[in-house]
């Protein structure tokens, strides 16, 4: 009986310690990448503001699990993507996973419309819950998402510079 009691107390204390350490991590995760493109914003903007153009530069958009419903809405696997705002220099999209996780994507086109160069900056922001596994799992977001974002931005650069 003493061994079971010791095991339960140890498990409880360990859980409190892990949760406390997890709460030291930020509750908002931001992953951001940028690329310089030798093309005008006028040429780049339609490629990022219209989901029908995404298969040109975003790997996986030609997959059978992707359904593009309109220029502002698509289903990518179990994630619903909706472009919520388009301005002269910003495209904002919500990426809502089937499990309810929401990530807000913002693409900024930095430069002058008449210039032949631009910076495309892409970021994802996600709010993380208090559960320790969510907090510790968020440490991998930059490595996983950042690598894919870099690859997609390089493909966007190649297409835009043609």
Is position 81 within any domain? yes
Is position 5 within any domain? no
Is position 2 within any domain? no
Total domains in the fold of the chain: 1
Closest among 88, 29, 40, 58 to 150, alpha carbons compared: 58
Q: Which CA distances in Å does 120 have to 34, 35, 55, 91, 153?
A: 5, 5, 17, 11, 8
Q: Each residue of 84-129: pLDDT tens digit?
A: 999 999 999 999 999 888 999 999 999 987 888 999 999 999 888 8
pTM here is 0.82
Is position 128 within any domain? yes
Residue 136: enclosing H or E segment and its boundaries? helix 132-137
Q: Each residue of 6-59: pLDDT tens digit?
A: 889 998 988 888 878 777 777 788 899 999 999 999 999 999 999 999 999 998
136/152 Cα distance (integer angstroms)? 26
Q: Using the predicted structure, report yes or no on whether residue 152 has a pLDDT greater than 90.
A: yes
Is position 43 within any domain? yes
Q: Which CA distances in Å does 101 have to 29, 74, 95?
A: 12, 16, 8
| CATH number reported for the structural domain that contains residue 73 in this entry | 3.30.530.20
Q: Using the predicted structure, report yes or no on whether residue 80 has a pLDDT greater than 80.
A: yes
pLDDT of residue 96: 95
Domain span at residue 115?
A: 26-160
């Amino acid at each position: 009986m003493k061994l079971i009691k010791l095991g339960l107390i140890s498990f409880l204390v360990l859980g409190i310690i892990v949760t406390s350490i997890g709460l030291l991590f930020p509750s908002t995760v931001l992953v951001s990448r940028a690329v310089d493109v030798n093309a005008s914003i006028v040429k780049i903007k339609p490629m990022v503001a219209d989901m029908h153009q995404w298969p040109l530069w975003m790997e996986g958009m030609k997959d059978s699990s992707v359904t593009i419903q309109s220029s502002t809405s698509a289903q990518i696997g179990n994630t619903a993507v909706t472009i919520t705002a388009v301005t002269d220099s910003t495209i904002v999209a919500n990426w809502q996973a089937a499990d309810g996780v929401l990530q807000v994507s913002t693409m900024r086109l930095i430069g002058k419309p008449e210039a032949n160069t631009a910076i495309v900056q892409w970021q994802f922001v996600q709010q993380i819950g208090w559960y320790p596994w969510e907090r510790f799992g968020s440490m991998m977001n930059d490595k996983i998402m950042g690598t894919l974002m870099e690859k997609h931005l390089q493909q966007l650069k190649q297409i835009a510079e043609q």
